[in-house]
Amino acid sequence: MSSDGASTSGHTLAVVCLGESMAVLLPDPPGPFEAVDTFRVAFGGAESNVACGLAALGVTSAWISRVGDDGLGRRLTAEIAARGVDVSAVTTDPLRRTGLYLKETGTSSSRLHYYRAGSAASALGRELLDDPAVLQLLDGARVLHLSGITPALSDSCLDLVRALLARRRPGLLISFDLNWRPALWLDRDPAVLPALLDAADLLFLGADEAETAFGTGDPAALRRMFPSPATIVVKDSGHRVTALDEDGTAVTEPALTVEVVEPTGAGDAFAAGYLAGTVRGLDQRSRLRLGHLSAAAALTTHGDHATPAPDPVINALLAASAADWAATRVTALGIDSPALPAVAAR
Ligand SMILES: Nc1ncnc2c1ncn2[C@@H]1O[C@H](COP(=O)(O)OP(=O)(O)OP(=O)(O)O)[C@@H](O)[C@H]1O
Ligand SMILES: O=C(O)C(=O)C[C@H](O)[C@H](O)CO
């Protein structure tokens, strides 16, 4: 796949992602905290994960946020930049720390323990839109990607999200992933969320999280609940994803068969793949397939970040028949598919 950026779109950048990233401590080796002696340091954050996933797919991306004036903030910013993401509008708060979370890993699920209250990013607010570096990125981008994590962080973050949705301009697609995080809403009111989601152009919802947050995971019911976005994408984890357009068209694509190593970040990787397909002008089915392929790579690695399959493998699978797609199997070792001449290394 060719790289997408100024040369093909006329924009300076394809996708801008805005939200908090944190240092992550991962038990090494993986296991419950009762037994852990050593933690490995990594970084994570839904929106920067999407930016990194896009860069890995050759799509120009930027991440906007704030970190503390501390080693973890400098390190995570440098690591995100090293993945090819523009961090020119990431600022440092001299008074507040970079957020942190611990990830307790299991074989099929992981639990995140947040230490982020009062973090540098949680103090972001609408004054961010006075920063010329931020405006330059927002005005040059084709897509702005946000998530439901940011309005959960603080009133000022909620206000920032409202301001971003209000300053929309023609030609900018606003993408919003629900990213339902109940632990962040314990002392806040999630009733603010539906209006934010309905103000987006492209909405990503997990069926399970939508069921918890809004009482239904049914794609048609969610389409009725959120009538304004041009497209809503409803992910039913390992089963299928359905994209419903405003003209009533619905396209469903089954998930790949994946031997899951660690699930965190699969939703972000899916969004990155789908957005990459969107900026490349792929049809709906191919966008969904690129989302599934990107998610499968994240599911078969530890940590939130994964290397996507090589371009020829991705292209062959985007073009595969429904039967070959259904027979494709992804493990940590590679991709086995009748659409490929041999098992492709991951
Ligand atoms: N068991 C599975 N087998 C195959 N694919 C899966 C499986 N679980 C998830 N996926 C893929 O990952 C995508 C995202 O899954 P899901 O919505 O459950 O993630 P999420 O909970 O949003 O993740 P996170 O918020 O941690 O990034 C799915 O649409 C699918 O492509
Ligand atoms: O949960 C959050 O707030 C995060 O951003 C941490 C993880 O990186 C994220 O949940 C993965 O989607």
Taking only the tens place, the pLDDT of each residue in 270-282 is 999 999 999 999 9
Confidence of residue 240 (pLDDT cuts 50, 70, 90): very high
For the chain, the C-alpha Rg in angstroms (whole number) is 19
Q: Tell me whether residue 268 is one of the annotated catalytic residues.
A: yes
CB 17 within 8 A of CB 51: yes
Q: Which of 19, 24, 213 is CA-nearest to residue 114?
A: 24
**So what's the pLDDT on residue 257?**
98
Give the model confidence (pLDDT) of 132-186 as tens digits. 999 999 999 999 999 999 999 999 999 999 999 999 899 999 999 999 999 999 9
For a substitution probing ligand 2, which of 20, 98, 104, 112 has the most ligand atoms within 8 Å of its CB?
Answer: 112
The ligand 2 atom at the shortest distance from the C-alpha of residue 181 is 1
What percent of the chain is predicted at pLDDT more than 70? 95
Confidence of residue 106 (pLDDT cuts 50, 70, 90): low
The ligand 1 atom at the shortest distance from the C-alpha of residue 270 is 13
Mean pLDDT computed over 81-105: 96
- Residues contacting 100, CB < 8 A, separation 6+: 22, 23, 24, 25, 72, 114, 115, 116
**63 C-alpha to center of ligand 2: Å?**
15
The answer to whether the CB of 238 is under 6 A from ligand 1 is yes
Mean pLDDT computed over 300-327: 93
**10 C-alpha to center of ligand 2: Å?**
32
- Residue 145 gets the label, from left (phi > 0), alpha (psi -120 to 50) or beta, of beta
The dotted CATH code for 10-146+162-167 is 3.40.1190.20
- Residue spans of the domains in the chain: they are 10-146+162-167
**So what's the pLDDT on residue 30?**
81
**227 C-alpha to center of ligand 1: Å?**
24
> Residue whose CA is closest, atom 21 of ligand 1?
267
Single out the catalytic residue among 4, 86, 177, 268. Answer: 268
What's the mean pLDDT when you consider all of the chain?
94
What percent of the chain is predicted at pLDDT more than 90? 86
SS3 84: coil
Confidence of residue 8 (pLDDT cuts 50, 70, 90): very low
